[in-house]
Amino acid sequence: MKGKIGQWHDDKGFGFIFSDDGAEKVFFHISSLKTSSRRPQVGDSVVYESALDAKQRLQAKAVVIEGLAAQASPQRNLKPIQVSPPRKNALDYLLMLIVLGCLGKLGWDFYQTRLINEAMAPYAIALVVAFLVLNRQKKPKEKQFSCARCNTVANFDARTIQAWNNGFLKLYCNPCHQRWLRENPVQPVHRYAASRGSGCLVLLCVFSVLPVLAALAIYNWMT
Ligand SMILES: [Zn+2]
């Protein structure tokens, strides 16, 4: 079949092909593209095969953009982008020391005096600030990643940056993510929890101690 790309969502990696005879509008995912020298654009003339997918919708297969050389296997020629994991730098280790140090100091003082007093305030503030900076969202060095499922090169967005911050290096493009959500309506929580390695203990400490400290401080201040 011959047609033209009538709609293209480059960020999401899909669009629609309108056949030249006007008979069909066919869903087109970037993974069906056989040319890889550039990404599709609205107005590209294409040659394609249409087939019904599992949900009986027309989907384009083996799409070739006319005027671009077809490649037998785009997957093999596309170099997957290696995304490097978030790195802790000297600042992060310093912050972890500050958090643990402040927690220790506050805990020890409270153990000694059974009181919350103003002298503790600087440590509490340092603790909160260090904790917030430590858990700031980092940005990956790479601007793009290769989808772990369909191999499409996709741009990082809020969702994938969040996932990357949570320690995921296998990232999925939006169409694959949407498909995954449809197929797995209940999100497995344990995957998320298991992904956090170091820093978990610090998190646990701070989250368990901070509310207690805050409650005690308010109680002290009120009475
Ligand atoms: Zn994908």
Cβ proximity of 208 and 178 under 8 Å: no
Q: In percent, how much of the chain has pLDDT > 90?
A: 35
Ligand 1 centroid–CA 177 distance in Å is 7
Question: For 2-73, which CATH class?
Answer: mainly beta
Cβ proximity of 125 and 98 under 8 Å: no
What is the per-residue pLDDT for 53?
Answer: 84
Q: How confident is the model at residue 35 (pLDDT cuts 50, 70, 90)?
A: low
Q: Higher confidence at residue 98 or residue 202?
A: 98
- 3-state SS, 84-142, equals CCCCCCHHHHHHHHHHHHHHHHHHHHHHHHCCCCHHHHHHHHHHHHHHHHHCCCCCCCC
Ligand 1 centroid–CA 194 distance in Å is 23
Ligand 1 centroid–CA 22 distance in Å is 29
Please check the confidence at residue 68 and state whether its pLDDT lies above 80.
no
Ligand 1 centroid–CA 152 distance in Å is 6
The angle formed by the CA atoms of residues 71, 84 and 133, to the nearest 5 degrees, is 145
**Tens digit of each residue's pLDDT (9 = 90 or more) over 119-145:** 888 999 999 999 999 888 889 988 899
Average pLDDT in the 65-88 region? 69
What is the per-residue pLDDT for 57?
Answer: 84
Ligand 1 centroid–CA 102 distance in Å is 44
What is the per-residue pLDDT for 58?
Answer: 87
Ligand 1 centroid–CA 138 distance in Å is 23
Ligand 1 centroid–CA 10 distance in Å is 13
Please check the confidence at residue 190 and state whether its pLDDT lies above 70.
no
What is the per-residue pLDDT for 188?
Answer: 58
Q: Around ion ligand 1, which residues have CB less than 5 A away?
A: 147, 149-150, 152, 173, 176
What is the per-residue pLDDT for 213?
Answer: 75
Using CB atoms within 10 A of its CB, is residue 133 exposed (0-12), middle (13-18) or buried (19+)? middle
| Domain residue spans of the chain | 2-73, 90-222
- Tell which residue, 139, 129, 193, 190, has the closest CA to residue 162: 139
Cβ proximity of 105 and 123 under 8 Å: yes
* φ and ψ of 28, to 5 deg: -140, 110
Q: How confident is the model at residue 177 (pLDDT cuts 50, 70, 90)?
A: very high
Helix, strand, or coil (residue 193): helix
